[in-house]
Structure 1
Amino acid sequence: MKDIGFVTSSDGAHLQCYQDFKAYLDEEIYLPMLGNVDLTGFKAIVVPDFSNQALLQRHARQLNDYLAQGGFLIVFEPNRMDEWLDVVSVQWFSRETEDWKWWMRPSGRMEAYQPEPRHSMAKAIPLADMCWHFFGAFRFAEGATPILNLDNDEGCLMYDQPLAGGGRLIASTIDPHTHHGRRFMPATTRFLNGFYPWLKAEVQGRD
């Protein structure tokens, strides 16, 4: 079994990310051809931000079945996973970053924090490397572990949810791949530099 499959819509940012992190990724999966791929042959599948929405809808059943059969799916926004994941309830709501230019201001900060006790991903990636902006938020999922929350716990920007049958979903409303691939927003590069080594170790630790 392979460790990590990376789904790409052939967006230039996706392709650049795959090249940059291919040491941790086992296969690039072309989204239009997803139906020809046996996802159960991967310990984890990453769906990067700004994937093709129509194609995600078209292949929704396959992605849901992967989760239901014990797969580990990581989805970054804005991919509106609440509209195509039905094996698990994903409650997304509209919520904009209060100040999109906070990072340009002295002592500026995004209105988010890492809950305690910290998730293993948060131990691998500091808060500063998880903050640039976000696209909406999630209602907290019962039984999930929060990774990144809004200050007042109004919503969760990233959580890790185990499913019956052994499946696992990491849902996120941040968009690191698009920014890193286009070489804009250094925090996103730092995030992915921590995320992919963490994910590789995480899936290998499940053996």
Structure 2
Amino acid sequence: MARIAVVYSGISFQHQTMNMPEFRGRFDIIDIYDLPRTDLSAYDGVIFPRSTDQAFMATCRQQIEDYLNMPGIVVALGDYWQQWLPGCTYGGFTPEDDEPLSKVADHPILEGISSDDLHWHKGINGLCCHGHLEAPEGANVLIRNDRGDCILYEDHSSTKGIVVAGSQFDVFCHTFSNDSGAKRALTNMLNWIGEEGPRLRAKRKQKPIAVAYSGLHFQHNIFTRPDYVDDFELLPMCSMETTDLLKYRVLVIPRESNQEVLYRMKPQIRQFLNEGRTIVSFGEMVVPWLPEMTWQKRPVTVKYDSNDPSTWDKGRVQTEDLRIVEEDHALFQGITLDDMKWHFHGVFNPLPGQRSLLCDGEPERAVILLDESNFDGKLMVMTLDPEEHAGFGEVTITMNFLNKCIEWIREEADRIGKELHS
């Protein structure tokens, strides 16, 4: 059975229509201001009624595009003017928008609906005009006004999913006003998503590795490169708390992730590990969000002669005490200690069952720490940040080690996948 969401902006007619007995239970209701924290991958289709907060939707543009490319279905109705929907362009207002309209193509949403059924403001033209749209290239226009402007279209071209956008096609408000044509159209819309949604869902590819994404440039730059896009998925930090993490096999936490959100998610993080999954975390831990981990701050010591500024090398820091503890570990095969010699952000103090793989002088000051004992899964933490410097795009010294980290992460994802399907 398809799962459908209707985004609710608190408008009276939206409330009344969504709570009609014949529609109750056919969709989930999402408060619009909860949208950024909502995992839309749980839905086959998402509907935005007229009077959706357009200014707010402009802040959700990327979320909607990502959802459509899963692929998914988005239906957007009513006045549209903030360019948040891929391929959709506002076309302005003209008196013909609120005059008799013409059904120009068949579609399941319009089954049993005539052109006459689409003129919902008979006798009061112009009082409730919601404009028209410019359909993107390749779209199938379903309804036009007498001037030929697009009122409703279906678009399979702008994204991997399906967009249905309609301006004057205000089915929620006119269902509330007891218009039989509008109610039939809304029922058809739900039925169509119910049939089309599962077909699209079957095309979705679940990427095995999630990257906690705080909207930072270096995170986006590195993990959206062609080498990563097939198996790494950016998971927006704002929606992590409401996302089912167990659909992923490995969770990567880059440096400069939101520590407060991660702290609130500590029970979910522990559950993820106890379900046999793997977490790899880069950078410091200033808030104790990692279970069974103790972090200690250590200042970065830059090497230069204060009496001779010309000797200063911005890339050289104090790393003489850095040493590999477990040289046989897969993380270090094919690289040398020099591939890990740049600044690191504190150390972890190993607890019973945890192994120091790379340390600052003594194993008790772990720069890379692996815990395979306290959970059913694995937790690897390091205060090195190869992904950050590689993502900035100017420093290449960290790439060799980052490639080894990515290789290990992918091996973990493959191992967990085999275990889950055995």
TM-score normalised by the chain length of structure 2: 0.44
Alignment pair present for 1:46 and 2:249: no
2:358 corresponds to which residue? 148
Match of 2:290 in 1: 85
Q: Which residue of 2 aligns with 1:22?
A: 228
1:51-200 alignment, distance < 5 Å? 51-80=257-286, 83-86=288-291, 89-99=292-302, 104=313, 110=319, 111-200=321-410
Distance 1:24 1:158, change over 3 A: farther
Q: Per the alignment, do residues 164 and 24 of structure 1 end up closer, same or farther by CA in structure 2, a change over 3 Å counting?
A: farther
Counterpart of 1:12 (choices 201, 217, 222) is 217
**Matched positions, count:** 203
Q: Which residue of 1 aligns with 2:156?
A: none
Q: 1:135 to 1:168 in 2, by over 3 A?
A: same
Q: From the superposition, tell whether residues 23 and 90 of structure 1 become closer, same or farther in structure 2 (CA, over 3 Å).
A: same
Q: Which amino acid aligns with 2:222?
A: C
For residue 17 of structure 1, give the secondary structure of its aligned residue in structure 2: helix
141 and 2 in structure 1: CA distance in 2 versus 1, 3 angstrom threshold:
farther
Q: Which runs of 5+ in 1 are unaligned?
A: none
| Inter-partner Cα distance in structure 1 for 2:393 and 2:244 | 32
Taking a change above 3 Å as real, the CA distance of residues 152 and 129 of structure 1, as seen in their structure-2 partners, is same
For 2:413, the equivalent position in structure 1 comes to 203
Displacement, 1:41?
Answer: 1.4
Q: Which has the higher contact order (CA 8 A, sep 6+)?
A: 1
| Paired residue secondary structure (1:27) | strand
Structure 1 window deviating more from structure 2 (9-18 vs 192-201): it is 192-201
Identity across matched positions, percent? 24
RMSD: 2.7
Cα displacement (A) at 1:52: 1.6
Q: Distance in 2 between matches of 1:152 and 1:196?
A: 26
